[in-house]
Amino acid sequence: MSNRTRHRAPAAAVALLGTVVLTACGGGAVAGSQSGPASSPSAGAVRQPAGFTLVASGDVLPHAAIIRQAQADAGGTGYDFHKMLAGVQPVVSTADLSICHMETVYGGRGGPFTGYPTFKSPPQVAQALKDTGYDTCSTASNHTLDDGADGIRHTLDAMDAAGVRHAGSARSAAEARTPTLLKAGSATVAQLAYSYDTNGFPLPDGQPWAVNLIDPERIIADARAARKAGADVVVVSLHWGTEWQDAPDETQLTLGKQLTAARTGGRPDIDLILGTHAHIPQAYEKVNGTWVVYGMGDQVAGEMFNYDNEQDARGNMGSIARFTFAPPATAGQRWEVRKAEFVPQLMDLGAPFRVVVLNDALRKNPGRADYVRARDHIRRMVLSRGAGAAGLTMVP
């Protein structure tokens, strides 16, 4: 069975997807931040608002080869994804809030599990994501309905059991209406998530809220509702773009401008956009004063084949985004990104499969030409729309 993902996002996808889009799911209770509580102020002191660091990464896409590796890492009994992700744990776990993108759905604990073209992943992925340091994952993608409503239920149940929050798909209308709110520093952060399509799979009967689909007006309305629900920072995860295209397509550019231009009382409604789906690293850009990550590439994936039916190393490259937010001088104003960074990473398909942080790996293996090529390509793509001049830097 091939490992490639063939579905393209049509150029006019956003304009055509004005169907059913509901507020991101995940439960309204505010989760605690990764870094834990701040130290107690001395008697009579006024606690100052604390900033926070947010980390986000690309598609977790367990192909059949990835599932086999996880089985081998578990010693042949069960599935263990911890070793595969261990290389990024220092980056992910040290952020106040870490966001992943879970592109596939899970099967029941006993399987069966499948890779491309209709994915059904082992639910043990969820615990590995939690132990790596992820707090929440976007779950809206073109593969969210690969196993219908059962796939959504298995996925979100496993995430709940592991303590990973989620946004983008839902098991009930009430869950779909409730924004995912998380605590980071002294901020409340809302995560919303949407996909351009579901590969032609229809929404389950009687469940029009099961997956959030991209509709600009709905996204803005949801962001405003999240703000009213208490969000200081609104993060929107978008599964969008054209696979294997280095540059963001016109749909991404147009939607990015539209969403970042939306304001209420002079304050932007959306504070950060995180993109997935293209399977290769794409640019970061500051649009209307807001950072847009068009595509973080893949974090976990097997051999990837492009539309020329050639194995393409870009499909195993990705960037980890890291943004440091500072509180406003006046309550109710915007939390500003004071530091914008990216971390080049690679899914190394050697034996065994492992995700590596490239600059760390090059310090240990300075002669790895494939690592150098991957790092340099990721850097070129990430900075290809002038993000360096806007202050984005690569973590050395």
Q: pLDDT for 67-94, tens place per residue?
A: 999 999 999 899 999 999 999 999 999 9
Could you give the 3-state DSSP secondary structure of residue 159? helix
Mean pLDDT, to the nearest integer, of 315-335?
96
Can you give the pLDDT at residue 30? 56
Q: Are 391 and 287 in contact (CB under 8 A)?
A: no
Domain-wise residue ranges, the chain: 14-24+52-394
**pLDDT level of residue 6 (50, 70, 90 thresholds):** very low
Q: Are 258 and 250 in contact (CB under 8 A)?
A: no
Mean pLDDT, to the nearest integer, of 305-321?
98
The rounded distance, in Å, linking the Cα atoms of 375 and 373 is 6
Can you give the pLDDT at residue 46? 58
- The residue to which tokens 């939306």 are assigned: 262
The rounded distance, in Å, linking the Cα atoms of 270 and 294 is 15
**DSSP symbol at 52:** E
- The residue to which tokens 């997807």 are assigned: 17
What's the angle, vertex CA 152, arms to CA 170 and CA 81, rounded to 5?
Answer: 120
Can you give the pLDDT at residue 210? 98
Is 3.60.21.10 the CATH classification of the domain at 14-24+52-394?
Answer: yes
Can you give the pLDDT at residue 148? 98
Concatenating the DSSP letter of every residue in 249-313 gives: -HHHHHHHHHHHH-EETTEES-SEEEEE-SSSB--EEEETTEEEE--BBEEE-S--B-TTS-B-G
- Pick 330 or 36 by higher pLDDT: 330
Q: Please say if the pLDDT value at position 7 is more than 60.
A: no
**pLDDT level of residue 48 (50, 70, 90 thresholds):** confident
Q: What is the pLDDT of residues 336-362, one digit of tens each?
A: 999 999 999 999 999 999 999 999 999
Of 298, 255, 252, the residue nearest 277 (C-alpha): 298
Can you give the pLDDT at residue 286? 98
The rounded distance, in Å, linking the Cα atoms of 166 and 126 is 11
The rounded distance, in Å, linking the Cα atoms of 63 and 263 is 40
Mean pLDDT, to the nearest integer, of 288-303?
98
Output the pTM of the full model. Answer: 0.90
Kindly provide the b/e burial profile for residues 340-361, where b requires at least 16 CB atoms within 10 angstroms of the residue's own CB: bbbbbbbbbbeeebbbbbbebb
Q: What element of type H or E holds 210?
A: none
**pLDDT level of residue 137 (50, 70, 90 thresholds):** very high
